[in-house]
Amino acid sequence: MAKNLSLVLSITLLLLVIQPIRGHSFKSLQHLVGSHKGQTVKGLHEIKHYLSAFGYLKLNRSTGLSNDHASVKDEFDEHLELAIKSFQKNFHLNVTGRLDSSTLDVMMTPRCGVSDIDDNMSPNYALFPGKPKWGKKFLTYTINSGVTREVLDKLSFALQTGFEEWHKHTQFTFARGRPTSTSDIGIGIMHIDGPRKVLADSVAPTSGKMRFDADENWSINDKPNVDQIDMVSVATHEIGHIIGLGHSTHPDAVMYPYLNGGVIRRKLSQDDIDGVFALYGKP
């Protein structure tokens, strides 16, 4: 099979511009519950940066905001209200424009670092802008990482399991190989932002870039503990990005961006399958 491989999937370390909430838990932001337009509440700037990181709010001069963290004020203005409404609509929450407990609860859930796409397809899945995709279906991947053998073995198992799941429903064949050039660095585990925040991230075709957060308590067990993140579920999700799918708003979909500790989401839902068929056609 290796002789027929005509395209290398180079999955490498990519430092995306993401600014998720740092150092906060849902409990620590509990005082924001009920905040609404017209108020000034300490901590709202963290929500603004969160919404900016995942595609709901632009921090620039046109909105009177700044990318400088210190310059973002704790004022609940119309821009924040619209961003919260968009976030609530995207995840099937009650669209109020207020920071209710349900909205904050979703925000505080560990998630993928890839931005959400507002213009979801019907009904839930999304494709990247321009619908980028691979021109061939035989892809190889490599793993380069300085982590321990135990973590590397977990990653190898997670990737193999995730690739097999996508292979069941697509024309893709994935095989582990060796880098053919200095640019083919491979999948990496590195520090992103600490545990229980951004779990992993990746980019659309045809870059093939993926990374995992070394600070997470990763598990590959069938029943992870509530303090563990299932690496197989995360790997399967990131592979979906690699082949061209954006985030789904369906909570049962592999491409749903949030994943709590102890939760497994390894099998493609019909929404995931519909999305990949929309991009590549049926096998």
Does the annotation list 194 as a binding residue?
yes
Where b means 16+ CB within 10 Å and e means fewer, 52-61 reads bbbbbbebee
127, 65 contact by CB (below 8 A):
no
165 tagged catalytic? no
**∠ CA 13-135-245 to the nearest 5 degrees?**
60
Find out whether 237 is annotated in a ligand binding site: yes
The verdict on whether residue 274 carries a ligand-binding annotation is no
Nearest-5° angle of CA 123, CA 128, CA 133? 110
* Residues constituting the chain: 283
- Is residue 199 a contact partner of residue 110, using CB atoms and an 8 Å limit? yes
216 labeled binding residue: yes
74 annotated ligand binder: no
Tokens standing for residue 128: 């990247």
Phi, psi (5° rounding) for residue 117? Answer: -110, 120
Known binder of ligand: residue 255?
yes
Residue type, 61: R
Does 105 appear as a known binding residue?
Answer: no
Catalytic pick among 46, 78, 150, 238: 238
With the CA atoms of 144, 145, 149 and 154 taken in that order, what torsion angle do they form, in degrees rounded to the nearest 10?
-80
Q: Which helix (H) or strand (E) holds 235?
A: helix 231-243
Q: Give the 3-state secondary structure of residue 181.
A: coil
User: Residue 40 is which amino acid?
Assistant: T
Quote the DSSP letter at residue 254. T
Write out the binding residues for Ca(2+): 184, 193-194, 213, 216
Q: Which residues are catalytic?
A: 238
